[in-house]
Structure 1
Amino acid sequence: MGVYGNQFIGQLPKEIHSLAKLEFFNVAKNNLTGRIPPSIWNLSSLTVLSFAKNYLEGNIPEEIGLLKNLTKISVSQNKLSGTLPLSLYNLSSLTDLYTADNEFHGSLPTNVFTTLPNLRRFWFGGNQFSGPIPTSISNASRIQSFDIVSNNFEGQIPNLGRLQDLSVLALDVVDVEENNFGGPLPKIIGSLSTHLSQLAMADNQISGKIPTELGNLVNLIYLSIENNYLTEVIPESFAKFQNMQELYLGKNKLSGTIPAAFLGNLSHLSEFDLSNNLLIGEIPSTIENCKKLQIVDFSMNNLSGAIPTQLLGISYLSILLNLSHNSFSGNLPPEVGMLKNIGTLDISENHLSGGIPENIGDCSSLEYLYLEGNSLDGIIPSSIASLKGLLQLDLSRYNLFGSIPQELQNNSVLEWFSASFNKLEGEVPMHGVFQNANRVSLTGNDRLCGGVAKLNLQRCPPKSLKKRKHHVGRKLIIIIIIFSIAFILLLSLVLTIIIYQIMRKRQRKASTDSTIEQFPKVSYQELHHATNGFSVQNLIGTGGIGFVYKGRLNSEERVVAVKVLNLQKKGAHKSFLAECNAFRNIRHRNLVKIITCCSSVDHKGDDFKAIVYEYMTNGSLEEWLHQNAEHQRTLKFEKRLEIVNGIASALHYLHNECEKPIVHCDLKPSNVLLDDDMVAHVSDFGLARLVSTIDGKSNIQTSSMGIKGTIGYTPPEYGMDSQLSTEGDMYSFGTLLMEMFTGRRPTDAMFKDGHNLHNYVKIAFPNNILEIVDATLFSEENDHLAVTTDVASDLRPNVERCLSSLFKIGLSCSVESPRERTNIKAVIAELNIISKALAD
C-alpha cells in the first residue's frame, strides 16, 4: 500500500490491523496528524514501513520489536519524541533506519551496530541524541550512509577507521556536523573506504592539526570541517583530492601558506572556503587549474602579494569572490573585467593602490561590489553605471577624487551607495538611490554639493557663475585693497574689544566652544519656552546625569527632545563634551541626529548645558521590550530582526566608517530609540570615545571620568581596567540581541550565583532554543510566521534556523575574552544571510 506524496489529512485509521498480510506500507509526505495506532505493530508481515514527512506525534513503543521481518523503517520529519525502544535495535534484518528531524533524545546502546549487522543507512540527524558514538561502529561493515548531524553527541569523533572488513565497505556519506565532538581527528580516519564521497564534521570542537592521512580518501567530493579549532598547515596530501567539488576549511586557526600543488590538482572544485584562518603568503598561480570554481572565500586571513590574474581568469566564477580583510597589495588588475558572471565581488580592507579599472563595467552580472578600505585613488569610473544589476556599491575610505558619475542615478535597482571619506567634489545626483538619504553615505567629502535636502550638503554654485569668474578677478583685487585699509584702521579697536571680552569671561569655555561650534546654537530662553518651563508634564525620560523633555522649537517647527544635563552630577560636563564631540562629524540613518545645543546660563545665573535631538515618536526599545505589554505583543520576530539590523548598521558605521572610529560604551535598550516607522536609532553618546591608531595599535581617548556604562551590558574587562575598545561594544550588542529574543534582561532576578544571560542561552543552544524564546514573538494574532500557537513545533523551518543563527551571533559577541568576540563586519554579513533566508 503506497499513498505517499498526496495531501491526506487526519489520523491513521485504527482499522489498519485488519490488513493482516500487509508487507509494504508507505504514507510518507502527507499531512497526517495524531499518534501512530498501536494496532500497526501487530502486522508481523511488514518489511517496509514509512511515515516520513507528516505531523505525527507521540513515541515509538517497545511493540515495534514484534515486526521481525522489517528491513526498512522511516519516521523522519515528524513531531515524534521520547526515547527509542531497545527492541528497535534488535531487529537484525533492518538495512535502513531513518529517524531524522524529530524530537527523540537519549543515548545509543553500546551494541547497536552489533545487533543490527545488516545496517546500510543510519540517519539520526536533527534530534537531541547525546552521549558518545558506540564503539560497536567498528562492526558496521555494510554501512553506506551515516548521518548524525545536529545532535548533542560528544566525545571524540567516532573511530570509523577501525571497521573490520574494509574490502567490502561501501561507505558513501559520513555526517557528524553540529555536535559537541572534541579532541583531535584520529589518523586512522584515513583508513576509511575509498568509496567515501562525503565527509561532514563542521560546527564541532575538533582541535589539533589535520592528519595527513585524511588525504587517502581520494574519492571525496565533499569535505566540510569548518568552524572547529583546527591548527597548523593544510596537508600537502590534500593534493590527492582530484575529485573534490566542495571544500570547506573556514573558521579554524589554520596557518602557513596555501600549498601550490594542492590547488593545482583540484580541477573539479566548485566551492572553496578558507575564510577566517591565519593563512599567510600569496595565492598560488596554480589556482588557474581550478577552472570550475564558482565560489571562493579567502577572507579574514593574512594573505598578501598581488591578486593573481589567474584567479580572475576563471570563467566559472559566478557566485562569490571574497578576498576581503587580508593584506593584498598592488593594483586591482584590469583582468577583473574578465569576471563577467560574478555576482558578489568583495576585495575590501586590503592595501590595494592605483585606480579602479575602467573595464570593471564588463562584470555585467555584478550585484554586490565592495572595494572599501583600500588605498585606491583616481576617479569613479563611469563604466560602473553600466552595471544594471548592481544592488550595493561601497567605495568608502579611499583617495578617490572627481565627481560621482551622474549616470549612477539611472540604475533603478541600486539600493546602497557609499563613497564616504574620499576627496570627491561636485554635484551629487538627485534620482535613483540618491533620492533616499538613508541609502547613501557621503560623509567626509567636504567639496560635494547639492543632492536631496536630507544629505545636508552645501548648495552648488550657479552654473553661470563659472562663466563670469574671469570677470571678477580685477574687482576682487580692488575690494581686497579697500578692506585691507579698513582692517588696519580697525585693528586697534578690534584688539581692544577682544582683550575686554577675554577679561570678562572667566569660565573655561574653550573646550566646549571648540566642540559645539559646528552646531547651530539655541538660547536657554528658547528651550525654557519650548518645554513649557521644563515642566513635569513634558518630562519623557531621566538618566544618570540629566533629564529629557519633549518640546517644540519655534525655529525648527517640529517636536524635539531636549536633554538637560544635571551639572551637579560628576562627569556631566564631560559627558556633554563627549556627546557633542562624537556627533561632530558623523551622520547615519540609524543614529539619533543632534539638531542643536545650548551652552549658556539659566535664569539663576548658573551654568546650563543641553542637547536637542530629533524626537522619536515610538520611544525606546526598552519600553517595547519590558514596560508595555501591548507593545511587547506587537513587536514580532521580523520587526525585531529589522531593529537588530539597524543597531548593527549603526555600530558598523561607528567602528569602521568614521574618520576616527567611535566606541559607544553604553549600548542598551533604553539607548535605542524608534521613529515613526519603527526604525532603530542609537542614541546617548555621553560615554563615547574616539579611537585613534598609533603604530598600528588602537588607542582610546579616555578621561578621568572613568568607565561607568550599565550593569549587565558592560563587558567584564571594563571592571579591571579602563581600556575601552570596539570589542566592548560588541559585548553589549550580543547581550542586547539575546535580550531582544529571550525577553529577559541581563539583570533578571533569575541570573544569580554566577548564572547570566549568556549562559542561559548557551545551555539551550542549539537544540532547545525554542524553550527560551520570548513567547510573544510568535503569538497567533496577526502573525504569518506561526501556523498555530504551538511555537515549538509549528514554526516555519527557516524561522527556527534564523533564530538559531541569531542566538549564535549573540553568544559569539558576548564571550568573556575580547579577542574572541565576533566583530561588527562579520555580524553584518551573518545578519544579511539571516534576513535573506527569512525572506525566502
Structure 2
Amino acid sequence: MQWGRFTCLFFVSMLSMFLAKKCISISTRNNITDQEALLALKAAITYDPENILARNWSTNASFCNWVGITSSNRGQRVTELNISGMGLVGAIPPQLGNLSFLRLIDVKGNQFHGYIPPELANLRRMEYLLFSSNNFTGHIPESIFNMTSIQNIDFSFNSLSGTIPSNVENVPNLQHLMLQYSNLTGHIPASVFNISTLLWLQQLYLCKASSLIELYLRRNRLSGALPDCIGLLTSLRILALDANALSSPIPMSLWGLKDLLTLMLSFSSFNGSLPLQVGQMVALTQLNLSGNHFFGNIPSTLGQLKDLSTLFLCNKRFQGAIPESLGKLKGLEMLDLSSNNLSGNIPKSLEELESLVYFNVSFNALEGEIPSGGRFIYFTARSFTSNKALCRPPRLQVPPCSSDSHHHSRTTKSILLRFVLPPVAYVVLIVAFILLLIHQRRQRIIPNGGALPFANQRRISYLELMKVFGLKFFCHISYALLIMQCNSCLAEYGLDGVVSTKIDVYSFGIMLMETFTRRKPTDDLFDGGVSFTSWVKASLPSSTMNIVDSNMLIGENRNFVNVEKCLISFFDSNRLTLLNKRVI
C-alpha cells in the first residue's frame, strides 16, 4: 500500500516537471518569436534620425523594456507597438504578423513606404491599426478586413491606390475607418454602410450605420453618386467628402439631417440646384459647397442657419442676387461667394455681420454701391475685384458712385455759394462799377433828336433819357439821382432861383440846367438880379458852349457836335419861356 502511494507521487512529480519544462520552452520560443519580429522591424528601418532604436533595441536587454513596446504582465508577450512620430524611414516587414498578442500598431507620423503587409491579418487580437501620415503605396489588403476584433483603421494621408475592399462589412466591431487623403479610386462599396457599429467612417455607403457620427472621405478619387439613404444617418455630425469625383445631385434626404454640424462637399462634381430645404439643417456651423457644378439661385433659407460660421459657395454657376437674409447670420465669420454669376447689389444687411472676418464676392456681375458700414471698412479691393459696376471709395479700386458724385457736386456747390461766391461777387461788382465809371467818361454818344417833349417832363425817368438821347450815362448825372422817376421831383424847387414848397411841371428842367451848367439858382452869381434862367437864355444860341460844364467836354471830341445840338435843343427859347412862368 505504501509502495503504491510512493509510486503515484513519483509519477505526478515527474509529470509536473515535464509540463513545466515544456511551458518554459514554449514561452521562451514565443518570446524569441516576438523579439525576432521586432528585430526584423529594426532591420527594415533605413533611417533613424534620433538613433532611438539603434541605442535602445538591443538584445542585451529584454524587449519588454524597449522603447515603444508594451508587453503583457504574464508570459511577456508584445501587446502594443507604438513608434509614432519618430521620423523613421523604412518599410513594415511581414514578420510583424507573428506578434500574435498584438492589439495596437501605431506607426503614424513617420516616412514608412512600400506595401501594407497582408500578413497583418494574422493578428486576431488587433484592435487599432494606425498607419496614417506615411508614404504607403499599393492596395489595401482585403485580408485586413478579416480581423474580427479590429475597431479602428486609419490609412489616411498616404499614397494608396485601388479601391476600398468590398469585404469591409466583415469587420463587425469597426468603429473608425479613416481613408482621407489616400488617393483611393472607384466606387464606394455598399457593404460599408452595413456596419452597424461604425462611429467614424472615412469611406462611404452606410445606410445601416445609424450610429455613425463622423464620415471623412476627403481628397480621394471616389466617384459615383451619394446614396439616397444618407439621410438615414441621423446621428451624423460631420460629413466631409470634399476633393473627390462624386457626381449627381445631392440627395434630398441629406438636407433633413437637422443635427449635422459640418458639411464639406467642395471640389467634387456634384450638380443641380440648392433647394430651399437647406434651411432645415439648423445646427449647421460649416457649409462648403465650392468647386462643384451647382447652378441656380442661392436659397434665401440659408438665413435660417443661425449658428453658421463658415459659408463657401464659390462655384462659378450660381446666379441671381445675394439673399438679404444672409444678414441674419450673426455668427458668420467667413463668406465666400466668388467666381459665380451673381448680379444686383451687395445687400446692406451684410453690414450687420459683426463677426465677419473674411468676405469675397470677386469675379461676379455685381453692381451698385459697396456697403461701407460694419466690418466692410476692413475689407480690401481683393474682395470686390472683377465685377460689373461696383462703386465706392478709391481705396477699393472701383469708380465712385454716381450718387456720391452728385452728393459731392452738391457739397461743392454749397461751399461755393456760402464761402466763395459772395466775396467773388463783391469784387466783381466793384470792378464792374469802376469799369462803368471809366466807360461813362469815354462814352459820349448824344442823340440827334431834340430834348424831351415838355409834356412828358413831369414823368421823365432815367430810362427815358437813355431812350431819347441814346446815352448810357450822360455827363455827371449821378446814378442815384437819375435812377429815380421824375414824377417824384417837385416843380418849383428851382424856378428863378427861389426854392418853393409848391409843385409845378417845370422843376425837372431846372434840375437839368443845374446838371448841364454845374450851377445852382442859389449861387452868388445870381444875387445881382440876374436869374438862373435868364442867365442861360442870354447865352443862347451862340454862346451855349460857354455856360456848359467844361467837364462834359473832356475826352474824345468826335461827339462834340452832337452834344452841342443836344444842349441847344434843351435850352431853346420856348422851354425857357415856360420855365420863367412861376406857379405860386
Bin the TM-score by the shorter chain: 0.5 to 0.7
Q: Counterparts of 1:446 and 1:401 in 2: how far apart (Å)?
A: 8
Give SS of 1:120's match: strand
Q: Is the CA contact (8 Å cut-off) linking 2:342 and 2:365 kept in structure 1?
A: yes
Alignment of 1:678-717 (within 5 A): none
Q: Counterparts of 1:86 and 1:354 in 2: how far apart (Å)?
A: 63
Is 1:176 aligned with 2:131? Answer: yes
Q: Counterparts of 2:362 and 2:111 in 1: how far apart (Å)?
A: 46
Match of 1:245 among 188, 191, 199: 199
Give SS of 2:391's match: strand
Which residue matches 1:792?
A: none
Task: Quote how far apart the aligned CAs of 1:345 are.
Answer: 1.0
Alignment of 1:458-469 (within 5 A): 458-461=400-403
Give SS of 1:244's match: coil
Q: Is the CA contact (8 Å cut-off) linking 1:417 and 1:439 kept in structure 2?
A: no
- Residue identity matched to 1:157: I
Q: Is the CA contact (8 Å cut-off) linking 1:218 and 1:240 kept in structure 2?
A: no
Which residue matches 1:396?
A: 338
Which residue matches 1:221?
A: 175
Is 1:304 aligned with 2:209? Answer: no
- Residue identity matched to 2:131: V
| 1:146–1:429 distance in 2 versus 1, CA, 3 Å | same
Which residue matches 1:290?
A: 233
Q: Counterparts of 1:374 and 1:135 in 2: how far apart (Å)?
A: 49
- Residue identity matched to 1:419: V
Root mean square deviation of aligned Cα: 3.2
- Residue identity matched to 2:206: L
Q: Is the CA contact (8 Å cut-off) linking 1:205 and 1:228 kept in structure 2?
A: yes
Give SS of 1:329's match: strand
Task: Quote how far apart the aligned CAs of 1:219 are.
Answer: 0.8
Which residue matches 1:185?
A: 140
- Residue identity matched to 1:282: A
Give SS of 2:351's match: helix
- Residue identity matched to 1:158: P
Alignment of 1:356-371 (within 5 A): 356-371=298-313
| 1:98–1:234 distance in 2 versus 1, CA, 3 Å | farther
- Residue identity matched to 2:133: E
Q: Counterparts of 1:285 and 1:383 in 2: how far apart (Å)?
A: 29
Task: Quote how far apart the aligned CAs of 1:98 are.
Answer: 5.1
Q: Counterparts of 2:328 and 2:199 in 1: how far apart (Å)?
A: 34
Give SS of 1:461's match: helix
Is 1:163 aligned with 2:122? Answer: yes
Q: Counterparts of 2:229 and 2:354 in 1: how far apart (Å)?
A: 40
Match of 1:277 among 220, 225, 232: 220
Give SS of 1:199's match: strand
- Residue identity matched to 1:91: S
Task: Quote how far apart the aligned CAs of 1:233 are.
Answer: 3.0
1:46-68 alpha-carbon deviations (Å, 9 max, x no partner): xxxxxxxxxxxxxxxxxxxxxxx
Is 1:120 aligned with 2:79? Answer: yes
Which residue matches 1:205?
A: 159
Task: Quote how far apart the aligned CAs of 1:346 are.
Answer: 1.3
Is 1:83 aligned with 2:57? Answer: no
Task: Quote how far apart the aligned CAs of 1:130 are.
Answer: 4.4
Task: Quote how far apart the aligned CAs of 1:82 are.
Answer: 5.7
Q: Is the CA contact (8 Å cut-off) linking 1:437 and 1:452 kept in structure 2?
A: no
Q: Counterparts of 2:350 and 2:287 in 1: how far apart (Å)?
A: 19
Alignment of 1:15-94 (within 5 A): 81=52, 83-87=54-58, 91=62, 94=64
- Residue identity matched to 1:189: I
Instruction: Tell me which protein shows more strand as a share of its residues.
Output: 1
- Residue identity matched to 1:265: K
Aligned length: 357
Task: Quote how far apart the aligned CAs of 1:88 are.
Answer: 5.8
| 1:336–1:463 distance in 2 versus 1, CA, 3 Å | farther
Q: Counterparts of 1:128 and 1:328 in 2: how far apart (Å)?
A: 39
Q: Is the CA contact (8 Å cut-off) linking 2:154 and 2:178 kept in structure 1?
A: yes
Task: Quote how far apart the aligned CAs of 1:288 are.
Answer: 0.6
Is 1:352 aligned with 2:323? Answer: no
| 1:397–1:186 distance in 2 versus 1, CA, 3 Å | closer
Which residue matches 1:230?
A: 184
Give SS of 1:182's match: strand
The answer to which structure, 1 or 2, has the higher relative contact order (CA under 8 A, 6+ apart) is 2
The structure having more radius of gyration, on CA atoms, is 2
Is 1:144 aligned with 2:103? Answer: yes
Task: Quote how far apart the aligned CAs of 1:309 are.
Answer: 2.4
Q: Is the CA contact (8 Å cut-off) linking 1:434 and 1:451 kept in structure 2?
A: no
Task: Quote how far apart the aligned CAs of 1:416 are.
Answer: 2.2
Q: Counterparts of 2:218 and 2:233 in 1: how far apart (Å)?
A: 18
1:301-343 alpha-carbon deviations (Å, 9 max, x no partner): 333333222112112211x212222333332111111122222
| 1:132–1:279 distance in 2 versus 1, CA, 3 Å | closer
Q: Which sections of structure 1, spanning at least 5 residues, go unmatched?
A: 1-78, 101-111, 250-257, 466-840
| 1:238–1:373 distance in 2 versus 1, CA, 3 Å | closer
Match of 1:99 among 65, 68, 72: 68
Give SS of 2:117's match: coil
Task: Quote how far apart the aligned CAs of 1:379 are.
Answer: 1.8
| 1:153–1:407 distance in 2 versus 1, CA, 3 Å | closer
| 1:248–1:454 distance in 2 versus 1, CA, 3 Å | same
| 1:189–1:423 distance in 2 versus 1, CA, 3 Å | closer
1:456-482 alpha-carbon deviations (Å, 9 max, x no partner): 3223326989xxxxxxxxxxxxxxxxx
Q: Counterparts of 1:437 and 1:97 in 2: how far apart (Å)?
A: 56
Q: Counterparts of 2:58 and 2:383 in 1: how far apart (Å)?
A: 65
Give SS of 2:184's match: strand
Task: Quote how far apart the aligned CAs of 1:437 are.
Answer: 4.2
Which residue matches 1:322?
A: 264
Task: Quote how far apart the aligned CAs of 1:144 are.
Answer: 1.9
Q: Is the CA contact (8 Å cut-off) linking 1:97 and 1:122 kept in structure 2?
A: no
Give SS of 1:325's match: coil
Q: Counterparts of 1:326 and 1:159 in 2: how far apart (Å)?
A: 32
Q: Counterparts of 1:237 and 1:142 in 2: how far apart (Å)?
A: 29
Give SS of 1:286's match: helix
- Residue identity matched to 2:84: G
Q: Which sections of structure 2, spanning at least 5 residues, go unmatched?
A: 1-49, 408-584
| 1:303–1:341 distance in 2 versus 1, CA, 3 Å | same
| 1:393–1:185 distance in 2 versus 1, CA, 3 Å | closer
Give SS of 1:299's match: coil
Higher mean C-alpha deviation, range 180-189 or range 379-388: 180-189
Q: Counterparts of 2:92 and 2:334 in 1: how far apart (Å)?
A: 47
Q: Is the CA contact (8 Å cut-off) linking 1:396 and 1:422 kept in structure 2?
A: yes
Which residue matches 1:653?
A: none
1:132-177 alpha-carbon deviations (Å, 9 max, x no partner): 434443332222222122234444213344537x4xx3x2212122
| 1:199–1:89 distance in 2 versus 1, CA, 3 Å | farther
Task: Quote how far apart the aligned CAs of 1:180 are.
Answer: 3.6
Instruction: Tell me which protein shows more helix as a share of its residues.
Output: 2
Alignment of 1:711-730 (within 5 A): none
Which residue matches 1:427?
A: 369
Give SS of 1:341's match: coil
1:256-293 alpha-carbon deviations (Å, 9 max, x no partner): xx6xxx33122122222233334444322100111122
Give SS of 1:177's match: coil
Task: Quote how far apart the aligned CAs of 1:383 are.
Answer: 0.9
Give SS of 1:83's match: helix
Q: Is the CA contact (8 Å cut-off) linking 1:416 and 1:433 kept in structure 2?
A: no
Q: Is the CA contact (8 Å cut-off) linking 2:187 and 2:224 kept in structure 1?
A: no
Q: Is the CA contact (8 Å cut-off) linking 2:368 and 2:401 kept in structure 1?
A: no
Q: Counterparts of 1:294 and 1:89 in 2: how far apart (Å)?
A: 51
Q: Counterparts of 1:184 and 1:376 in 2: how far apart (Å)?
A: 39
